[in-house]
Structures are given as structure tokens and as C-alpha cells.
Amino acid sequence: MKIALLTYSTKPRGGVVHTLALAEAFARARHDVTVWALARGGDTGFFRPVRDAVTVRLVPVPEIEGESVGDRILRSIALLAEALGAFEGSFDVVHAQDCLTANAVGRARGYDGLWRTVHHLDRFTTPELAACHERAIVEPAALVCVSEAVAGEVRSGWDRSPAVIGNGVDAARFAAAASSGAGEPWRAEYGRYVLAVGGIEPRKGTLELVEAMALLPDVPLLIAGGDTLFDYRPYRAEVFARSDELGVAPVVLGPVDDGELPGLVAGASVFAFPSTKEGFGLAAMEALAAGVPLVTRDLPVLREVFAGAARFADGPEGFAREIGRVLEGADPDLDPAHATVGRALAAAHTWDAAAAAHLDLYRRGLASGG
């Protein structure tokens, strides 16, 4: 098959990681794969190398000073739609990984035959984004969700029936970082540290995590990630102000080089995952692959994905309590049974299996004329 996968960014966000890994799995299965992405800020490539068997097409989105979020969304959709229009009819499958790229396909060629993955559901206040979000659920021919919990939200909210195909994870890469000692330089610099990945934004629950760390004095908090589509400067200012008030000094690493990430994860004593909304939790699954204890918010989707392999908490006190229980052992290999279960869970989620499930879905859709 000739497959086009579309993503809104070149940065290491969860949906982008998913897109590249899925594309490479399709290529291993000997399909012709093209990844399309919007490239902002002069980017000329993805955050990591992409295997040669995958074709990459980047659509530049020049920066416009003072442009509103809504206008930037509409302009991004228009630019991607224009680029896709030149390849009309070139693909058997066109699969958008977010609402923005789904809207670009709709503008370029209509939604007939479009697959779209709903990683998680958002509630936007920006009118352009709210309309974009709604169209990208209502109008595509077929929907995929990465967890049953998100699929249930789509069924109840929009009366649609998505397929459920979980994420894969490069478990071997993170397990190798743990066994090779790649985390030792990070431990040497920061000691026993708590790690959060995903940047500072409301959905990631950063403010509550800072408040939890105030109850665990002298334990470093490292925060990795960033570079989202949205402007979260007010929220970041609130987080830093609260940190100062509580005497917490988070180490904000920003985007971490892809080659360094497994070592950073493997070196953590606890991986904290206080997200208020997730579709699967890929970063948390990577932590389990490295054998790192996971403390996550008690959400239905995270219970579905991580039951038996994580400690669940709510609120600053709950997170402080569960993180403290891990740290009391003063040993990164605390609770070997939990670590074994977590590693096994991560190893069971492979990108080749996810690709095979997608390919079966595509074949059935194409056979039925969808």
C-alpha cells in the first residue's frame, strides 16, 4: 500500500513520536510510506533521524510576529492543504494523527476515505480550534483511538465507533539504557531525582507536581520536553511563581536530545505522570521499559493502560505520598516485582503489532470502498 501519515509538528511530542514509529513499522512491512509534517521555526527535519525507507515531506510554516493562535491554525491548515493538493490520488491511505492535519486533508480533498487517530480529546476555547476539533471527529471516514477509554468518550460524545489500536513503545531502547548504565551520569549530577516529561502546560499537571515536590524537600524535580503548538507562557509563569513561593526549584531541561532521553529516563528514581488528560501515556510506558517506578494520576485511561504496573495518585498530597514511598527505599531498583511487571507490559506493546493492526484496518476499509 501507499500510505501517507500526517502530523502537525517535527518536535518530540507524543503524536509525532507515534507517527514516525508507525511509519517505520509500515516500511519494515514493505509498504510505501510518506510522512507529512508542518515545519515551524525554520525546521528542516524531525527531532530524530527517520529511516531511509520512509519518505519525509515537510511543509514550512514561516513565523509571523504577533499572529494569534487561531490565525496560525488556519494558516497552517491552508499551507498543508495546498501541499497535499499537488499529490491528489497518490496514496491508497491518508491517515491524519491530529485535528489540524485532518482539517488540511478535508480542505484539500474532502474527508472521503480519510483515517484519523484521536489520541485524546481536548476542549478548546479558541473558536478556530474548537471548530477544527469538531470537524476532525465528525467528518473523517474512520477513526482510531489509542485506548478504550478515549474510544468510549468518542462513542458517547459523537456516536461514532472508533477502532482501538494501542501505541507501541521502543522498549528495548529504554531497557538497554537501564542495563548499560546510561542513567549514571544523570544520577551523578542530580542524585535521586523525580522526572516528568512533556513540558510545562496545564494538561501535564505541572503545577500540582510542583506542589507535591514542596512536600518532599531536597528531592530534585527534572522537567523535560516542550515545544507545543500553543502559548502556555501564562501557565508557565504561574508554575514558576508557585515554585518560588514554595521553595521548589525545578530543573527545566526543555527538549532533550533524542539520543540522551533514554539515559535521562533510566536515571530517574521516580517517573511522575500527573497529566489531567491522556490518550495512552507513551512517555510513562518508556519509563516502565527502563524499570523506573511510575506514579501516575488516577484516570480511567491510565488505569486501563497501567493497572498493576504503576502507583496511582490524585492531588499534591497523593503524589507526594506515593513518590515518597518509592524514595524511602533509597534504591532505584525498589520493588522488583513492580519493575518486572512494568518491563513486561512495555515489551508487550510493539510498533510492529500496532502497524499490523492498522494495516488490517486499512485493508478492510479499502475492500469495503471506505
Ordered DSSP codes for 194-224: EEEES-S-GGGTHHHHHHHHTTSTT--EEEE
- CATH 3.40.1190.20 assigned to 171-348: no
Answer for the pair 141, 113: CB distance below 8 angstroms, yes or no.
yes
| pLDDT per residue as tens digits for the range 227-244 | 666 678 899 999 999 999
Q: What angle do CA 303, 308, 313 make, to 5 degrees?
A: 55
| pLDDT per residue as tens digits for the range 127-173 | 888 899 999 999 999 999 999 999 999 999 999 999 999 999 999 99
Sheet holding 270-273, edge to edge: 251-254, 221-224, 194-197, 270-273, 294-297, 311-313
DSSP string over 148-172: HHHHHHHHHHH----EE------HH
Q: Terminus-to-terminus CA distance in the chain, angstroms?
A: 15
Rounded CA separation 193/323 (Å): 10
- CATH 3.60.150.10 assigned to 2-168+350-367: no
Closest to 307 measured CA to CA, from 320, 318, 296, 317: 296
Closest to 10 measured CA to CA, from 59, 53, 52, 68: 59
Amino acid, res. 336: P
The two most distant CA atoms of the chain are separated, in Å, by: 61
pLDDT beyond 80 at 329? no
**What would the mean pLDDT of 274-280 be, rounded to a whole number?**
96
Residues belonging to the chain: 370
DSSP string over 252-281: EEESPPTTTHHHHHHH-SEEEE--SS-SS-
User: Is the backbone of residue 361 left (phi > 0), alpha (psi -120 to 50) or beta?
Assistant: alpha
Categorize the per-residue pLDDT at 331 as very low, low, confident or very high, splitting at 50, 70 and 90: very low
pLDDT beyond 60 at 330? no
Number of Cβ within a 10 Å radius of residue 150 = 26
Per residue in 100-119, is it b (16+ CB within 10 Å) or e — as a string?
Answer: bbbbbbbbbbebebbbbbbb
In this predicted structure, what is the pLDDT of residue 337?
Answer: 64
| pLDDT per residue as tens digits for the range 34-51 | 999 999 988 999 999 999
In this predicted structure, what is the pLDDT of residue 232?
Answer: 83
Residue intervals in the chain for CATH 3.40.50.2000: 2-168+350-367, 171-348
* Entry pTM: 0.93
pLDDT beyond 70 at 193? yes
In this predicted structure, what is the pLDDT of residue 229?
Answer: 64
Share of the chain above pLDDT 90, in %: 84
DSSP string over 60-112: EE---TT--HHHHHHHHHHHHHHHHHTTTT--SEEEESSHHHHHHHHHHH-ST
pLDDT beyond 80 at 251? yes
Q: Which three cell numbers stand for residue 191?
A: 542524585
Closest to 40 measured CA to CA, from 7, 70, 14: 7
In this predicted structure, what is the pLDDT of residue 334?
Answer: 52
